[in-house]
């Protein structure tokens, strides 16, 4: 990530994407039919977050997949905590996620935000005076540094835990080799049982690169990870797919479809089953589970 933005660019580095997406959460929260309520989002995003949405190409039209992702993640997190005996949430590249304050989490849950020191300081300042609903820890770490994730995992393995890892909006900015290393380290982490992520397909990456091409786009935070094999990418690294939630299907369920979505529905009528399944996995929200022995 670069601290020096290119002239005319709205997003200076990957950390700025947290401000960008927070505005979408704020806008959704202000709707009468809001799917969720994040009363902290606009405060945390600030004027810079709004500037990003106003500046990037198609910024105001791209809220729907971010809103859908937020709500689906909310649902999955609460369900996994309630049904799977998870007592720890490890939120990697946490950004401006305010779930420990806004979701009705079990008070005994230990929520750990991991991010760069600057991002955590910004969040701490914005959340001053607010009380989280569960045990909360902010852990500064640069996950790009060798051994940084291992240090975090070792620190929180000192107590017996059953953990859910979240990488919301992170993997798409990493190289495949970095994701493979991350997956292997998480699989070897004592107590890590589940991994919640958003996953892009190569088709989605190509579409987004065309849509956000130009000096006001995302050249300072390029998209990189979209495995052609989908969740099978993670199998050699100790993970298997437990759940896949299509972004398109969830958007339809939640009534947050993009404009002119009926056109895609019409195209789908003439697709082969294989092509239709590929489109269903165009973008999704995934829960992986450890493929090794339960006591590993």
The conformation of residue 127, written as its DSSP 8-state character, comes to: T
User: Cα dist. 278→125, 139, 196, 286 in Å?
Assistant: 43, 38, 21, 15
Return the biggest CA–CA distance within the chain.
55
Contacts (Cβ under 8 Å, ≥6 apart) of 180: 233, 236, 237
Q: Where are the domains of the chain?
A: 73-290
Residue recorded with tokens 């450890």: 290
The pair of structure tokens assigned to 169 is: 């909006």
Contacts (Cβ under 8 Å, ≥6 apart) of 252: none
CATH class for the domain made up of 73-290:
alpha beta
Residue 130 near residue 163 (C-beta atoms within 8 A): no
Q: Which pLDDT score, from 0 to 100, does residue 211 have? A: 66
pTM, two decimal places: 0.89
171-181 pLDDT, tens per residue?
999 999 999 99
pLDDT under 50: residue ranges of the chain? 1-8, 215, 294-296
Q: Which pLDDT score, from 0 to 100, does residue 152 have? A: 92
202-231 pLDDT, tens per residue?
988 887 777 666 545 566 667 889 999 999
Q: Which pLDDT score, from 0 to 100, does residue 1 have? A: 32
Q: Which pLDDT score, from 0 to 100, does residue 176 have? A: 95
């Amino acid at each position: 990530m670069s601290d020096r933005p290119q002239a005319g660019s709205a997003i200076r580095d990957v950390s700025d994407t947290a401000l960008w997406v927070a505005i979408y959460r704020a806008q959704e929260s202000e709707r009468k039919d809001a799917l969720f309520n994040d009363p902290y989002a606009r405060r945390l995003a600030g004027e810079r977050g709004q500037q990003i949405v106003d500046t990037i190409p198609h910024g105001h039209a791209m809220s729907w997949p971010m809103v859908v992702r937020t709500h689906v993640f909310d649902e999955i997190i609460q369900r996994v905590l309630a049904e799977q005996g998870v007592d720890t949430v490890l939120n990697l590249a946490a950004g401006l996620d305010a779930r420990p304050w806004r979701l009705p989490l079990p008070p005994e849950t230990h929520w750990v935000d991991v991010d760069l020191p600057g991002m955590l300081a910004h969040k701490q300042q914005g959340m001053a005076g607010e009380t989280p609903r569960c045990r909360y820890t902010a852990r500064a770490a640069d996950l790009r540094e060798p051994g940084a994730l291992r240090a975090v995992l070792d620190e929180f393995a000192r107590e017996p835990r059953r953990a859910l890892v979240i990488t919301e909006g992170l993997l798409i900015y990493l190289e495949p080799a970095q994701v493979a290393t991350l997956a292997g380290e998480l699989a070897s982490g004592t107590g890590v049982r589940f991994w919640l992520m958003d996953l892009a397909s190569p088709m989605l990456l190509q579409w987004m690169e065309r849509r956000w091409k130009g000096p006001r786009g995302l050249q300072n935070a390029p998209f990189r990870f979209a495995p052609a094999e989908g969740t099978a990418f993670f199998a050699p690294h100790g993970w298997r797919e437990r759940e896949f939630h299509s972004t398109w299907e969830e958007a339809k369920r939640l009534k947050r479809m993009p404009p002119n979505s009926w056109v895609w529905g019409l195209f789908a009528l003439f697709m082969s089953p294989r092509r239709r399944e590929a489109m269903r996995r165009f973008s999704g929200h995934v829960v992986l589970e450890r493929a090794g022995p339960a006591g590993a």
